[in-house]
Structure 1
Amino acid sequence: MEKVKIAILGFGNVGTGVWKILKENKKEIMKRSNYEIEVAKILVKDINKKRDIAISKEILTDNIDDIINDESIKIVVELIGGRGEAKQYMIRAMKAKKHIVTANKLVIANWSDELFKIAEEEKVLFYYEASVAGGIPIIREINESLTANRIQQIIGIINGTTNYILSKMTNDGIGFEEALKEAQEKGYAEADPTSDVDGYDAVYKLAIMASLSFGTKINHDAIYREGIRSISSLDIEYAKKFGYTIKLLAIAKEENSKLELRVHPTLIPSNHPMANVNDVFNAIMIKGNAVGELMLYGRGAGDLPTGSAVVGDIISILRNNVKPADISEVSEESNFKEIKKPEENEAEFYIRLNVKDRAGVLGDTAKIFGENNVSIISMTQDVSREDDVPLAFITHKSTEKNIRNSLEKIKSLENVNRVESIIRIESFN
């Protein structure tokens, strides 16, 4: 059986997961790829660092040139993450006629055009399944299984850290800070959790999926973004009262050739399957005009789930499959689909106010909503011995603009202290 040599750039959590899978599933991989895979080099920062797994120092290097200049290495697996260094290593490897497998969502979301163009020019393959949803094969589904469909929408829980935090807040009744600390202690959240809890990670992943699904180039800066820092235990409890669960959703929809792209906390019906996606698990719902709705579920992060997607891409390259469609191959005519401005988006809304316990406050707020074409489905006001009380509403579908206009006027009412929360609702209709 022919042997193929590969190199791994980075030997952190995912890198070690790839190593374990290649070793433990060696026979199955050989059978499915018709190759024996040899890890010839691993790029690390510190060769002498103590590691949890036994590995020969002979294959470790801290010099990228040892990999780029080795003509026997045919596939480079980039698992460093981050921006510039990873991008430049991939470019150098492709120009040395090496195929690329990566899990780097940040680089794909920012420089896909450049990278895919170089891959095409150098006649090498560029695979990136692990960049979006860990072990969930969403890229392959879009590129292969759903090619007979016009994809109409994608709605997903695609960040395991925020899903863990919101699950703990919902199921254990703890606050955001406590849930975040627990996520950090378990290794689910970084010391600086900004990318996850402020929604940037989900934005990068949504940009990749939307570009492939709708055949257009997506600038991730055009995607509306909100994180979960402002979600309180009180919001969790009110959501339950109204029959909802709060999740951070990534949403992409196409209607009348215009795209709606947003990442934000969302109330979803508690009886919907996605409401029961807990812990660090991910789930993605895709709606196609032929297939209808599909839901993919699995671990969105971790050494072995993400490593599984990486090794799957390696096997795909070895099988010499036809190159999957990539963002660079969309036609020029479809490259510039208009993205809706946030104020144009329509949704139902959950709104929580802090008001003085005075007669007429409900009537005053309801009047302003009505004047701005915002219709109320239901409301609740807690009885309190204190002067200030929470007042929560669920609205019918309304434009973001009308909601914002209403709240600007409501904030000026004498008996309204402040607007505490505005959270969109996804009913999956």
Structure 2
Amino acid sequence: MTNKIKIGVAGLGTVGAGVLKIINAHGELLQARTGTRLEVTAVSGRDRNKDRGVPIEGLAWYDNAADMAKDPDVDVVLELIGGSDGVAKDLCVSALTLGKHVVTANKALLAIHGTELAELAEKHGVSLAYEAAVAGGIPIVKALREGLAGNAISRVYGILNGTCNYILTEMEETGGEFDNILQDAQKLGYAEADPSFDVDGVDTAHKLAILTSLAFGTPVDFNSVYIEGIRDVTAADIAAAQEFGYRIKLLGVSRRTDKGIEQRVHPCMVRTDTAIANVSGVFNAVVADGDFVDSTVYVGRGAGEGPTASAVVADIVDIAIGRHSATFGIPVEEMSPLPMASIESHVGCYYVCLTVYDRPGVIADVSAVFRDENISIESLLQRGRSESEAVSVILVTHEAQEASVVRALSKIEKFAHSVATPRMIRIVSL
């Protein structure tokens, strides 16, 4: 008799429909690989009559997704609804409590409640799987939890949001400004009507919090992530980066330092000869540094129906063959609440753009402020030459503490000849 695993799908949007398509298309292949037949028995969505390009006739329908957890004909619950609370959380809590496996693509839920849900899964002896929650089709969760299990991870970082990477790539290739490129991205469907979740860095921060827990064995701590988006990146910044041999990418960076674990999301200047700098368009990339394996790089599509649904199905396959791992690599009771380093303690190089009136003594005044904050200037470039008009002064620092750079820019902004708020982008050594 063939083993069978019965699946309830909550959320029939792009990803949910994609999962149904994969199971319909590759049912025999999946059965051959697992020795188990994967059967969808129940679904939940907003509109029962909507055409999703996949048949749902004959499946149990739930208007309230949370009720699906109680269905005796469901062994595995797929939570593909989204949102950090509400019905998505209720469904997961109910399913885990009832001893049912949960597969989710919900990075917001895990970033806020991941440790709590992992503890619940462990208590009831079931899996909480979430490969699709971070970097879509890239199997980075399995890589960190299993493939790199023999390594102590010192750093994990990456491009975790395709919308931002597309916008920054287009800004570089066309010379356009952020607002114009964002509008184009919205027309093409790469950006939402309300893009703030993506362009303000929140989406990347959710994913980074999850990766930090996996990499360092610490409870998920989204509130300790420093977050800065890409709205303030200008075409002039992009051009200056090129001139200095850099590209600008929105990165999520988590690393172990002598002050604790850094978790930060912000635009970065990265050398053009690095692997991450050459990941363009809507693609994602993650780099993990291990003590024995050195650096490993993972590149692929981070969103979309196919890649994300593929990751969901991979988690179902693990459950079907009985492959079980602690949610974040180690049991919750063995996690260490490591100190989190503040962004002010970060040490690195910085790109700074000042807009000032070109008057005698301006550069001397700027240099004096940096000297007083113990910041050494590596290079300086002035754009334009007119005493009556504002000009750009661009400089790159040697390594300095962020708190010192912030203080210096605050002082410079108060100069009488300063026209605009100074802009700063961190230069990341990869």
Select between 17-26 and 230-239 the one with higher mean Cα deviation.
17-26
Distance in 1 separating the partners of 2:133 and 2:404: 37
2:66, 2:88 within 8 Å by CA — same for their partners in 1?
no
SS in 2 for 1:71: coil
1:112, 1:328 within 8 Å by CA — same for their partners in 2?
no
SS in 1 for 2:354: strand
Distance in 2 separating the partners of 1:65 and 1:112: 18
SS in 1 for 2:420: strand
Deviation string 1:304-324 (CA, Å, 9 cap, x unpaired) is: 101111000000000101323
Task: Please state how far the C-alpha of 1:203 moved relative to its aligned partner.
Answer: 0.8
2:127, 2:327 within 8 Å by CA — same for their partners in 1?
no
Distance in 2 separating the partners of 1:257 and 1:137: 30
Deviation string 1:80-100 (CA, Å, 9 cap, x unpaired) is: 011221010111122232211
2:120 alignment partner in structure 1: 118
Distance in 2 separating the partners of 1:344 and 1:142: 27
Task: Please state how far the C-alpha of 1:58 moved relative to its aligned partner.
Answer: 4.3
1:257, 1:337 within 8 Å by CA — same for their partners in 2?
no
Select between 371-380 and 403-412 the one with higher mean Cα deviation.
403-412
Residues 354/64 of structure 1: CA separation in 2 closer, same or farther (3 Å cut): closer
1:271 partnered with 2:281: no
Task: Please state how far the C-alpha of 1:357 moved relative to its aligned partner.
Answer: 1.4
Deviation string 1:229-276 (CA, Å, 9 cap, x unpaired) is: 111111111111111110000011102361111100011111211111
SS in 1 for 2:189: coil
Distance in 2 separating the partners of 1:183 and 1:59: 37
1:44 partnered with 2:45: yes
Q: How does 1:122-133 map to 2 (within 5 A)?
A: 122-133=124-135
2:341 alignment partner in structure 1: 340
1:389 partnered with 2:391: yes
1:224 alignment partner in structure 2: 226
Q: How does 1:16-165 map to 2 (within 5 A)?
A: 16-56=17-57, 58-64=59-65, 67-82=68-83, 83-165=85-167
2:8 alignment partner in structure 1: 7
Task: Please state how far the C-alpha of 1:327 moved relative to its aligned partner.
Answer: 6.7
Task: Please state how far the C-alpha of 1:50 moved relative to its aligned partner.
Answer: 3.4
TM-score (norm 2): 0.95
Task: Please state how far the C-alpha of 1:57 moved relative to its aligned partner.
Answer: 6.0
Picking from 184, 190, 193, the partner of 2:192 is: 190
1:173 alignment partner in structure 2: 175
2:40, 2:59 within 8 Å by CA — same for their partners in 1?
no
Task: Please state how far the C-alpha of 1:132 moved relative to its aligned partner.
Answer: 1.0
Q: How does 1:218-257 map to 2 (within 5 A)?
A: 218-256=220-258
Distance in 1 separating the partners of 2:259 and 2:230: 30
Structure 2: give runs of 5+ residues left out of the alignment: none
2:355 alignment partner in structure 1: 354
2:400 alignment partner in structure 1: 398
Query: Between the two proteins, what is the percent identity of the paired residues?
Result: 39
Distance in 2 separating the partners of 1:279 and 1:225: 22
SS in 2 for 1:347: strand
SS in 1 for 2:299: strand
SS in 2 for 1:417: coil
Distance in 1 separating the partners of 2:381 and 2:66: 65
1:347, 1:400 within 8 Å by CA — same for their partners in 2?
yes
1:324 alignment partner in structure 2: 326
2:199, 2:229 within 8 Å by CA — same for their partners in 1?
yes
1:168, 1:174 within 8 Å by CA — same for their partners in 2?
yes
Distance in 1 separating the partners of 2:64 and 2:58: 13
Distance in 1 separating the partners of 2:92 and 2:330: 17
Structure 1: give runs of 5+ residues left out of the alignment: none
Deviation string 1:94-139 (CA, Å, 9 cap, x unpaired) is: 2232211000111111112221222122222111111111011111
Q: How does 1:198-213 map to 2 (within 5 A)?
A: 198-213=200-215
Distance in 2 separating the partners of 1:116 and 1:328: 10
1:144, 1:324 within 8 Å by CA — same for their partners in 2?
no
Match of 1:19, as an amino acid? L
Residues 97/331 of structure 1: CA separation in 2 closer, same or farther (3 Å cut): closer
Task: Please state how far the C-alpha of 1:406 moved relative to its aligned partner.
Answer: 1.3
1:368, 1:409 within 8 Å by CA — same for their partners in 2?
yes
TM-score (norm 1): 0.95
2:119, 2:332 within 8 Å by CA — same for their partners in 1?
no
Distance in 2 separating the partners of 1:48 and 1:321: 37
2:15, 2:305 within 8 Å by CA — same for their partners in 1?
yes
Distance in 1 separating the partners of 2:391 and 2:119: 58
Residues 113/410 of structure 1: CA separation in 2 closer, same or farther (3 Å cut): same
Deviation string 1:325-344 (CA, Å, 9 cap, x unpaired) is: 52772455x52211112211
Between Structure 1 and Structure 2, how many residues are aligned?
Answer: 427
Match of 2:87, as an amino acid? E
Residues 54/74 of structure 1: CA separation in 2 closer, same or farther (3 Å cut): closer
Deviation string 1:174-222 (CA, Å, 9 cap, x unpaired) is: 1111211122222222111111111111111111110111111232111
**RMSD of aligned residue pairs (Cα, Å):** 1.7
Distance in 1 separating the partners of 2:65 and 2:203: 27
Match of 1:408, as an amino acid? S
1:217, 1:327 within 8 Å by CA — same for their partners in 2?
no
Task: Please state how far the C-alpha of 1:65 moved relative to its aligned partner.
Answer: 6.6
Distance in 1 separating the partners of 2:403 and 2:259: 21
